[in-house]
Amino acid sequence: MKDSVHFCSVIVLPKIHNRAGNITAIENQVHAPFDIKRVYYLYDVPGGADRGGHAHLKLHQFIIAVSGSFDVLLDDSINKRTVHLDRPYIGLHILPGNWRELLNFSSGAICLVLASEVYDETDYIRDYQDFKKFKLQ
């Protein structure tokens, strides 16, 4: 299954270090493995809140904890995998066809998301039972 959780890769980005701090740059098709059409970020996430809780039909995402940390639970309907993100130079590429939940946000965490498409509600599967049925097709 080429959209399995095991094909969602953790990518280490370059870190340019100097005494006044670090820079990480992400370039289209170089570090993010798709054309980036949208950037958004989650912030002020209350303690204990869960985000995500959906799958996408076509959307690729590249997720980075640019500040703080959180867990990403991935589920392809057969396999589950949890990835802990806690470094601004490490990203997770989430393939379409994977259910995802974002959990255990640290206080002040910022989750940066690079996405392969503009926002489209019709690309979402928001019900887990619908997701299971979709994966059986």
Contacts with ligand TYD by CB under 6 A lie at 38, 40, 42, 51-52, 54, 119
Nearer to ligand TYD, 7 or 40 (CB): 40
Backbone angles phi, psi at 108, to 5 degrees: 80, 10
CA distance 85 to 13: 13
Nearer to ligand TYD, 2 or 123 (CB): 123
User: Would residue 60 show up in a list of annotated catalytic residues for this protein?
Assistant: no
Shortest CB 115 distance to ligand TYD, Å: 7
Nearer to ligand TYD, 3 or 101 (CB): 101
Shortest CB 10 distance to ligand TYD, Å: 20
Shortest CB 37 distance to ligand TYD, Å: 10
Cβ contact 35:26 at 8 Å: no
Residue 70 has a CB neighbour count (10 Å cut-off) of: 23
Q: Catalytic: which of 6, 17, 54, 60?
A: 54
Instruction: Please work out, in degrees rounded to the nearest 5, the angle formed at the alpha carbon of residue 7 by the alpha carbons of 120 and 75.
Output: 65
Could you identify the residue written with the tokens 């870190």? 15
Task: Please identify every residue annotated as catalytic.
Answer: 54
